[in-house]
């Protein structure tokens, strides 16, 4: 992030209108038994985002986080249907998300539609976090 923001500040716009998007996790919003180290790392990502949003907002640089729930990625490729069951059951939509759904959220945050958003953590978790 440090190098990206330095390049934004050095650009002709001075950073105005630029956007930084970090990926945290639903577990970076609420911990979960058995995932304490992972949750701690994702809480840290959100802390970095929050501090950077405050620090660089005056320059016109927006910083936000996406907090995905279970998403069909290589990380989940080795999970059996039985192992995926509890994850799916926690989502009110009853399914695992797709990478394209996270990408669409990032596009929104980087677009004019997200121009007044900074310091936000967007949950893209199929409704999982409503149970936490």
Q: Which residues are catalytic?
A: 38, 42
Q: Match 């304490």 to its residue by tokens.
A: 36
Q: How many Cα atoms sit within 13 Å of 113 on the Cβ side? A: 7
- Note whether 5 and 52 are within 8 A (CB): yes
Rounded distance between C-alpha atoms, residue 43 and residue 35, angstroms: 12
Tokens of 81: 């249907």
Q: What are phi and psi of 49, to 5 degrees?
A: -60, -45
Complete edge-to-edge strand list for the sheet that includes strand 121-124: 19-23, 62-68, 121-124
Q: E strands along 11-103, which residues?
A: 19-23, 62-68
């Amino acid at each position: 992030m440090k190098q990206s923001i330095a390049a934004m500040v050095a650009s002709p716009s001075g950073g105005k209108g630029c956007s930084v998007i970090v990926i945290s996790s639903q577990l970076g919003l609420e911990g979960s038994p058995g995932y304490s180290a992972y949750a701690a790392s994702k809480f840290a990502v959100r802390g970095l985002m929050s501090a950077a949003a405050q620090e660089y907002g005056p320059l016109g640089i927006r910083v936000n986080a996406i907090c995905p729930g279970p998403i069909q990625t290589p990380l989940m490729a080795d999970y059996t249907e039985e192992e995926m069951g509890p994850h799916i059951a926690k989502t009110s939509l009853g399914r695992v998300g797709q990478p394209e759904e996270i990408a669409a959220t990032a596009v929104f945050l980087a677009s004019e539609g997200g121009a007044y958003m900074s310091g936000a953590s967007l949950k893209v978790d199929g409704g999982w976090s409503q149970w936490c």
